[in-house]
Amino acid sequence: VGARAIAHGLAKPSGLVTCLPELSPLPLIGFDQLVFGGWDVSSAGLLHRARDMATDDRALGAGLVAAVEDDLRAIDLRIRPGFARGGGPATQSLASRAVRRRRETLEAAAQRLGDDLDRFREEQRLSNVVVVNLASTEPVIALGPEHASIDSFRRLIHNDRVTQVAPSTLYAYAALDRGYPYVNFTPSAGVSLPALQELGHKNQVPFYGKDGKTGETLMKTVLAPLFRYRNLEVLSWEGFNILGGGDGRVLADPNHKQSKLRSKSGVLQSALGYNPHTGVSIEYVPSLGNWKTAWDYVHFRGFLGTKMSVQFIWQGCDSILAAPLALDLIRLTEYAARINESGPMRHLACFFKDPMDVKIQSFTEQFSLLLDYVDTHARRVPR
């Protein structure tokens, strides 16, 4: 909705990092040049979901959805059945009957997904295709030596080891194998497997992840430096998240929740330099729909041992927070690919809860990495 609304001049670029003046030196692709397609395990379709967001969640203007209705219908025609085997019980429950019934091997699926990408590129006459994982969070899979090299990972696919090849890793494989850049906006495994990074390097494509930083964790990485630089010891940092919607329903399943909690919990250790008592909980509250409320209680020790606290309450609409960042990542990844960069895009750390190959967790310091990238390229690249 947003990309098409901006392309039509119907919406302002609020929430888009790539539209900040600081990023204007980069010749990023225009919103009107982007063509959307994808896979979905559900058969609901974008238009249906957009209307729900307008009517039930009051998170979008109903008029705006109506204005891009034709665009959404066109995109819905380009959305192909997703792959859900091994994606966990909650994902299965969201999947259409057709997707659930399909008995496709991992090898067949990898082939099909790759072919979908090639066909999409050809049919739409695209210079490149960027794959972004925006699917529901999968359960954690145990990593073993067979995830360490692309050769052994290919054997897992060949032998249809469905408990060792999560869907997110199969999509990532399909993209990277055909030479398409890949970004993982979710806490699922995706390109975090060494095997897939090897593949990305080999095929010289850019990739990155994982877990888009949109709300509570963003707040954490913004606030933590206050305690760090004022020498205030954080004793406890307890976070409680409540949300509804499809995302909430999936995360209500303990198997799926585990992945999310892992990527959320790592940030404090890095940002503070020690591990305070900490807890993060996520509860499914259907009435909230797409709106998430997070309450965080931070207990800290000040001068002479006196304990004090700060609490925050974050009330945001998850899709509205995530969508512009996904567009930012598409634009920045397309640019990196266009100028033949490859490997992990460390300058994108500020977008992620668990940024690949970057230890810095302070948000403003992560943002400096992006500014440095702009500086370097502003000088290098003719516009």
Near a copy of itself by CB under 8 A, which window of 121-129, 135-143, 195-203, 357-365?
357-365
d(CA 349, CA 58): 31
Considering only residues 312 through 351, tell me which ones interact with a copy of itself, judged by CB under 8 A: 312-317, 320-321, 323-324, 350
Considering only residues 238 through 257, tell me which ones interact with a copy of itself, judged by CB under 8 A: 238, 240, 242
Cis peptide before 12 (omega within 30 of 0): no
Beta strands in the chain (DSSP E): 38-40, 79-81, 131-133, 182-184, 206-209, 233-243, 277-284, 291-301, 307-317, 343-344
d(CA 112, CA 211): 26
Does 63 sit near a copy of itself (CB under 8 A)? yes
Q: Which of 287, 379, 380, 383 binds a copy of itself (CB under 8 A)?
A: 287
Near a copy of itself by CB under 8 A, which window of 55-63, 139-147, 172-180, 339-347?
55-63
Does 67 sit near a copy of itself (CB under 8 A)? no
d(CA 324, CA 149): 34
Does 12 sit near a copy of itself (CB under 8 A)? yes
Q: Which of 31, 208, 363, 373 binds a copy of itself (CB under 8 A)?
A: 363
* CB of 240 vs a copy of itself, minimal distance in Å: 4
Residue 300 pairs with which residues in a beta bridge? Answer: 234, 308
Does 367 sit near a copy of itself (CB under 8 A)? yes
Does 59 sit near a copy of itself (CB under 8 A)? yes
Does 79 sit near a copy of itself (CB under 8 A)? no
Does 105 sit near a copy of itself (CB under 8 A)? no
Near a copy of itself by CB under 8 A, which window of 54-62, 145-153, 162-170, 180-188?
54-62
Considering only residues 111 through 130, tell me which ones interact with a copy of itself, judged by CB under 8 A: none
Q: Are 292 and 243 in contact (CB under 8 A)?
A: yes
* Residue among 310, 324, 318, 308 at smallest CA distance from 282: 318
- Please state, in angstroms and as integers, the Cα–Cα distance from residue 271 to each residue in 48, 237, 267, 309, following that order: 41, 13, 6, 18
Does 2 sit near a copy of itself (CB under 8 A)? yes
Does 304 sit near a copy of itself (CB under 8 A)? yes
Closer by beta carbon to a copy of itself, 138 or else 247: 247
d(CA 362, CA 224): 7
Does 5 sit near a copy of itself (CB under 8 A)? yes
Closer by beta carbon to a copy of itself, 203 or else 293: 293
Local structure of residue 50 (DSSP, 8 states) = H
Which residue type does 8 have? H
Considering only residues 20 through 49, tell me which ones interact with a copy of itself, judged by CB under 8 A: 20
Near a copy of itself by CB under 8 A, which window of 89-97, 107-115, 219-227, 338-346?
219-227
The sign one gets for the Cα dihedral 256, 261, 266, 271 is positive
Q: How many Cα atoms are found within 13 Å in the side-chain-facing hemisphere of 194?
A: 9
d(CA 137, CA 255): 10
Residues that contact a copy of itself, how many (by CB under 8 A): 75
* CB of 340 vs a copy of itself, minimal distance in Å: 28
